[in-house]
Each structure stands twice: as structure tokens, then as C-alpha cells.
Structure 1
Amino acid sequence: MSQTETETDIESYLDEGKPKKWYKRKRVWLGVILLILIVLAISQCSGGDERPNYVTAEVETRSLDLSVTATGSLRPTNQVEVGSEVSGRIDDVLVDVNDQVTRGQVLARINTEVIGDQIRQSRANLNAAVARVAEAQATLEADEAQLDRLLEVQRLSDGRVPSQAEIDQAQAAVNRGRASVAAARANVSSARAQLSSAQVSLDRAVIRSPVSGVVLARQVEPGQTVVASFNTPTLFVLAEDLATMQLRVDLDEADVGQVEAGQDATFTVDAYPGRRFPATVERVDLASNNIAQIGQQQQGGGQQVVSYEARLVVSNGDGLLRPGMTATATIATDSTGEQMLVPNSALRYDPEEEEEGGGIFGDPGFGLDRTEEATIGVGSRQSVYVVEEDGTLRAIEVVTGRSDGRFTVVTSEELEPGMEVVTGEGIGSQ
């Protein structure tokens, strides 16, 4: 046996009779853990009465500006689609998108070789028709001379010669000659009309701008063939003036009664976040946008969402706004004047009740029937709650007026401006 092992055995033998140190005893540690658990349990049970942390808002006195919100798109005041009334190959396109054009300016030219042949043929037909008029006129003059001679002979012979049959035949020849002259002259008019139509087609082969403005779209390229058969193909889309534009928005059926011509409005577009542009209501359509669909739905027994289009006049002198931009408009419809206002959340707030109707809140209804969900409508009687000094809630009855969706006009015998009404409950305890 080594010396080290001998010394270890000796120390163990000497320590057997001595008491163990306290931190080496298991009972001590078990007691400490049990004590900690007891303290935690007591702290949980005796934490005090928890009360909701009420969120409140002050009752205000000010004017409530009522408005209607709608979405739509910007359009030019006068947008013109320029097409072609003649068919043919496009030889030249002289403008492009965003180009400024003036009234009468040439936009494109269509090949006129076929139209030129039509004009030459129409001229030839006209000349032939004029020649036939001269021929018919000469024949008529000869027949009239023959009739005059026969009548003279009859007069000189006291009616013996020629016979009446010969005179009738000569008279019929004169009548036929007169009809031939009239038909030949009608053919001349027809030939002139055909020539004029061909010349008009030649003039319309040059596409000109009907207005002064800007080119919004170009839908044709040189070499492309235009076929104008049953409908007129669109070659260009022009806007007459972008300094003044239209904003067309769809009004909901519930809001259309509040909007009328002359009301001021503002709107925003995604291209310029945070910037509001002014506008003025020009008109509100009497008919719904989907009036045809409404009739179909009524026949089928279904329902359809009804909307009405409103047109707003927009000034665009700086040229920031562009056709087609989506806009959200806010139309100022009315103002209530100085009235007492509460947040809508205060009218919707309903404190939680204990199962037996008691608790720290006491009787939250105070005789008011709140079994049905409150609705914020003009003239309805509802309750708002204020926090008393002891932390309980007191219900105050109010009569609601008009609302802008965030605040509502109220009248009450107890509620006064400056009082704090409960709008909700926060996280935490009091």
C-alpha cells in the first residue's frame, strides 16, 4: 500500500466521529426549496385586488367636419380617339406619345394609290355621263323638229295629212327624248358624287388632329395596314388639355345623398404620398353605374351593390397629375358647428360583468338596457362610462348625433366637456 492511500484512510477514520457541516446536509436544502415555494405561493395569493387599467379620452367641444370618401381615377377633360375612315397601308406616322399637337396638324398618312385610281375612274365616268347628256339633248331636239314639221303640214292641209297616228308617234319620240335627257343628267350627278366621294377619301387619307392637345397613345406603325370596314380603327388617343382634368369616383349608395355639385374636396394619389390636391364636385350622375346589372338582379331575385359616379374638376397647372392615376377623394359634405364630441370607441365600450352582476364595477347598466349591441345612429340613446375616484365606473346616458366615423356628436344632461370617458381597457393593474 502506498503512502498516499494510507494518509487518506487515516483522515476518513478521524472524520467519522465529527458532525457534518450544514451545507452538506440534504435536509437543509430541502427546507430551503420548500420555503421558497411557500413564499411564491403567498405572493401570488396576496397580490392585491387587480383592477383594469382604463384607457380614457377627453370629451371635446368643437366643430365636426363631415365628409365622404370615394376612390376613382383621373381622366382628361376631353379625350379624343382619332381613327381612319379609309383603308390602306400607313405610309408615314409623324407624331409619338407625349407630343404636343395643334388642331389640323398631320398625324399620319395612308397610301393613296388605290384612291387615285378611283378618282381617275370617277372623272372618266363623269365625262361619259356629260357626253350622254349632250347626245340625248341632240336626239330630243331632232324629235322636236320632226314633230313641229308634222304639225305644220297638218295645219296647211286642213288636217288631211299627216295622219293622227304619225303625229302621236312623233310626240312619243319627243317624250322619250326628254326622259333620256333627264336620265343622262341624273347620271352626271351620280358620277359627280362618286368623284367627290373619292376626293374626300383622298383628303381623309391624311390623318389630322381634331383638337389641340397631347398624344396619350399611338396604336399604329408605318407599314401597318388599316382596314376600315364595319368599325373605325383607333390610331391615336389625344387629350385636349391636361391643365384641367376630371376625377371620376364611385359613391356608395349610402353616401350619394350627401354629395352635390359645388362641394369642395381633396384627394391623394400614390405617386405623391402625403400630398393632398384640391378639387370641386362638378356633378353627380342620377343613374347608377351598374343600372343594367341591377335590372338583371331584380329579375333574378338577387342583390347588387349600387354606386353612383361623381365628377370632380381638378386643376393641373403644374402637370404633376397624369391620366389613369388612381385617387382617393375626401368630399367635405357638411359641418356641425360647435358641438360636444366623444370618440366612437367610448360609445362601443361595454365593461365586462361578473357572472352574478356584481364585482368592483357594481351595476354597470344603472337601469340602462344594454342587452342588445349598441349602434351609433342619429338620435339613439347610449351610455358612456367615466371612472369614479374609487375606481368604479359610472354610466352616463347620451343621445347621439352625426358622426364622421371617429367622433360622434352627443348631448347629455350629465356629461360635460373636459370629462374623461372610457374607451377601452389596457394591460396591467391598478
Structure 2
Amino acid sequence: MLENVEDLRRVLGLDKKRGHKVLLRAAFGTALLASFVVGARSILHRRAENARPHYTTERIAQQDLRVTVSATGKLQGLNTVEVGAQVTGKVQRVLVDYNDHVTKGQVLAEIDPEELRAAVEQQRAQVLSAEADIEQAKATLLEKTQARQRAVEQSKLGLIAQKDLEAANAAAMRAEADLAGKRANAEIQRANLKSNTSKLGKTKIVAPMDGIVLSRTVEQGQTVTAGYTTPVLFKVAEDLRKLGLLVDVAEADIGRVREGQEAFFTVDAYPGRQFPSRVLSVRNAPKGDDAKSNDSKTTEQNVVTYVAVLAVDNTDRVLRPGMTATATIVSETTPNATVVSNAALRFTPPPSASAGPPPRAGEKRLYVRHGDALSAVLVKTGASDGTFTELVSPLLSVGSEIVVDVAQP
């Protein structure tokens, strides 16, 4: 019986040094073979695992579902007026600046009145001259009327010829016409005086209402020309504590937007903060057809848009006119709705799995996992907020586990 290494070495006829080498080689070979067997088993196991389908699942939930419409636009004062110049001239004084509070009738700027004042004085003289012409015409008419009366009496006595009577009558009629012309001319001169006086008064640019100056586009010494278009000198907003948000709503979404709907919006100046709002009005004319729109194009990239006006409470004065805002209008709210993610509705099973029966009109497919197999369930859906969709079919209840994606092993 071999009781130790020495006995084995004697049987094999090995010396002590050579025996150690043989034993080491045999041990190494055995270890290598065992490692190969373990590695092969691990590879086969991984291949088997990879061959099995892996799915990501979620559960059907119950929550409030809000269907929304997104739109972008700009903030502006609810009652903003552009104040312009109605007369031509050099700006003599500018009395207000940006952000100044003004009251109705307050003078904002003055245009040099010298030329218009001279025109008023000249026109006043024209009125006086016209009135003097009227008095002279009255005197002439009186003279011609008296001459006609004498001619009539003399004609009755046979003291004058018929032609002399006719001449006196014509002279009186010409005097009456001349007086009427002089009176008409006087009316024209008075109207011109009134017009020039009005223009003189318009050299003072006044605030049309109480408010705040949003912009000033004129400097002292600048010449403004009032032609076919009125040059805008100031922009005045009535009350910045209440603003309006004008957003462009796409044609596809305008049917879901109505007056009174709740909304909220964000601005880049205050990231992460949502400002509450509500729909004040929805304009019927497409953008560009609206006279108040600055965009002359009715469509942009072949998409018709409509303007919705949102009311904004700006009591804390953190919002400013002209800010770009992204608004979300809540068009529909369903409390405690049974919802499923849109990812589950978009899921397509791998080719190895059965796709299930084709959905009918108004139906969609969800997939339920049974071990490594999938089964399709046809469901009816309702409103969607873009992330979740309401389930109106009773086939699946809250808490049911459904497949949303194929997971990576």
C-alpha cells in the first residue's frame, strides 16, 4: 500500500527531484481542467439566461388626469396705449422717462409751437378780414335793395324804362349772393382757425390715462413728422399689476381651448416657478388677420395659429411686459382616473412573442406577462395628457402589472 509520496516515487521509479516536477504538472493539469469545466458551465448558463426574454413592467395606477394644451407667447399690459405726435415739428421738451408714473392729461413732451402759433394768428386775421367783408357786403346789399325798391315805384309811375328796373333787380340779387359768399368764406376761415388752434394744442403730448411709461422713443431736439402714419413717442400701460399673456395656439388644439379655463405658465427669468392664470378670451381671427397682431403672416410653416389671451395677476410686480412665456392650459380634468403610461400603449412585443388579436376601432393593446410568455389585452382608452392615458375598459384594474419595454439582460 502507498502511504506517502515517497512510496509513490519508488513505485514510479522516480528520484526525489524529478518526482516533484511530475506531481506539480499533474496538479496544474487537473486545476486547468476544472477551471475549463466551470467556465463552460458558466457560459452555457449565461446563454440560457440570455435566451429568456426580459421585460420591464409597471402597474396600472389611479390618479387625477389633466389634459393640457401648450402654447408660447409674450406678456403685455391689458390696456397699453401708444402715444404719438399728430403735428410735425421739433421736440422742445421731454418731461417723462421709462417707468415714470403719469396721470391722465399730464404733459409728456412738447413740440415747438412757434410755427403753429403764427399760423393761428394769421388765421385769426383771416377771420377778421372775412367778417369785415361780410359787413361791407351787407352795406352793398342794403344799397342795392333800396335802389330796387325805388326802381319799382318809379316803374309804376312810368318814370323809368323796364330795363332800368331789371338792372336794379339784378344788382340787388348780386348783392345778396355776394353776402352769402362772404358769409361762407367767413365760416371757412373760422374752421381753419379752429383747426390751427387744435393743432397748436396738440404740440403738448399728454397722457391718455393714468399709468406707467413703458417706453420712450423720442429725444429733446428731435424732429418728428406726422404724415400717413403717426410717429409713436411713448408707450403707456394702465396697470402693470394686471397683465395679459398672448399665446399662439395651433389650429389642431384650438378646439380644446375655451374662456375661463385654468392655466399656468413659466418664464425664463424665474426658472422652476409656475405662475397661475386663466383664459380670458380666444380670438376668432387667425393670427395675422387680427388688426392688433404685429405678424402679417396668417400661417407659419403651413400651420394656422390663433391668439388666446390669458389673464395674469402681477400684484408683486415681478413680471414685465415683453417677457416670453410658455403656457399650459388645462382643457380637461378627470379625477381618480385609471391610467396607464403611453409607453405601455406603444410597446411592441419581440418577434418571438404573440402580438395578439388586432385592435378594433377605439381599442389598443396592452401586454400582461405570464412567466416568459406575454398575452395581449384589448382595452379602450380615453383622454391623454401626453404621458398617461385614461383606461375606460374594465378588463384591467388598478394594480395590474403590464409590460412597457424589453429589458436588457
Aligned twin of 2:385: 404
The 3-state SS of whatever aligns with 1:405 is: coil
User: Quick one: distance in 1 between partners of 2:319 and 2:141?
Assistant: 74
Superposed CA RMSD in Å reads 3.1
How far 1:113 sits from its partner (Å)? Answer: 1.1
User: Quick one: distance in 1 between partners of 2:385 and 2:235?
Assistant: 41
Aligned twin of 1:369: 358
Aligned twin of 1:112: 113
Aligned twin of 2:65: 64
The answer to whether the 8 Å contact 1:294/1:304 transfers is no
Aligned twin of 1:335: 333
Aligned twin of 1:279: 277
How far 1:22 sits from its partner (Å)? Answer: 4.8
How far 1:64 sits from its partner (Å)? Answer: 1.9
The answer to whether the 8 Å contact 1:290/1:306 transfers is no
User: Quick one: distance in 1 between partners of 2:45 and 2:59?
Assistant: 35
Aligned twin of 1:270: 268
The number of equivalent residue pairs is 386
Deviations 1:224-251 (A, max 9, x none): 0011122211111111121211111122
User: Quick one: distance in 1 between partners of 2:162 and 2:288?
Assistant: 80
Q: Please list every run of 5 or more consecutive structure 2 residues that lacks an aligned counterpart in the other structure.
A: 1-16
The 3-state SS of whatever aligns with 2:200 is: helix
Query: For structure 1, which segment, 163-172 or 59-68, has the greater mean C-alpha deviation from structure 2 after superposition?
Result: 59-68
User: Quick one: distance in 2 between partners of 1:294 and 1:183?
Assistant: 50
Over 3 Å counting, the alpha-carbon distance change for 1:291 and 1:172 in structure 2 is closer
User: Quick one: distance in 2 between partners of 1:64 and 1:76?
Assistant: 33
With the length of structure 1 as denominator, give the TM-score of the two structures: 0.81
Matches within 5 A, 1:227-238: 227-238=225-236
Verify: 1:425 aligned to 2:401, yes or no.
no
What amino acid sits opposite 1:336 in the alignment? Answer: T
What amino acid sits opposite 1:314 in the alignment? Answer: V
The answer to whether the 8 Å contact 1:101/1:215 transfers is yes
Query: For structure 1, which segment, 229-238 or 39-48, has the greater mean C-alpha deviation from structure 2 after superposition?
Result: 39-48
What amino acid sits opposite 2:363 in the alignment? Answer: R
User: Quick one: distance in 1 between partners of 2:215 and 2:355?
Assistant: 66
Over 3 Å counting, the alpha-carbon distance change for 1:295 and 1:90 in structure 2 is closer
User: Quick one: distance in 2 between partners of 1:364 and 1:381?
Assistant: 18
Query: For structure 1, which segment, 331-340 or 72-81, has the greater mean C-alpha deviation from structure 2 after superposition?
Result: 331-340
Among candidates 173, 176, 183, match of residue 175 of structure 1: 173
Verify: 1:44 aligned to 2:43, yes or no.
yes
User: Quick one: distance in 1 between partners of 2:177 and 2:277?
Assistant: 70
Deviations 1:94-138 (A, max 9, x none): 001111111100000000111121112112211211221122222
With the length of structure 2 as denominator, give the TM-score of the two structures: 0.85
Matches within 5 A, 1:355-366: 363-366=353-356
User: Quick one: distance in 1 between partners of 2:346 and 2:259?
Assistant: 35
How far 1:314 sits from its partner (Å)? Answer: 1.4
How far 1:202 sits from its partner (Å)? Answer: 0.9
The answer to whether the 8 Å contact 2:85/2:230 transfers is yes
How far 1:80 sits from its partner (Å)? Answer: 0.7
User: Quick one: distance in 2 between partners of 1:294 and 1:144?
Assistant: 67
The answer to whether the 8 Å contact 1:59/1:342 transfers is yes
The 3-state SS of whatever aligns with 2:98 is: coil
User: Quick one: distance in 1 between partners of 2:392 and 2:236?
Assistant: 56
Matches within 5 A, 1:177-256: 177-256=175-254
User: Quick one: distance in 1 between partners of 2:236 and 2:288?
Assistant: 28
User: Quick one: distance in 2 between partners of 1:82 and 1:222?
Assistant: 16
Identity %: 40
User: Quick one: distance in 2 between partners of 1:30 and 1:133?
Assistant: 141
What amino acid sits opposite 1:96 in the alignment? Answer: D
Over 3 Å counting, the alpha-carbon distance change for 1:190 and 1:261 in structure 2 is same
User: Quick one: distance in 2 between partners of 1:413 and 1:243?
Assistant: 49
User: Quick one: distance in 2 between partners of 1:315 and 1:351?
Assistant: 50
Q: Please list every run of 5 or more consecutive structure 1 residues that lacks an aligned counterpart in the other structure.
A: 1-17, 355-362
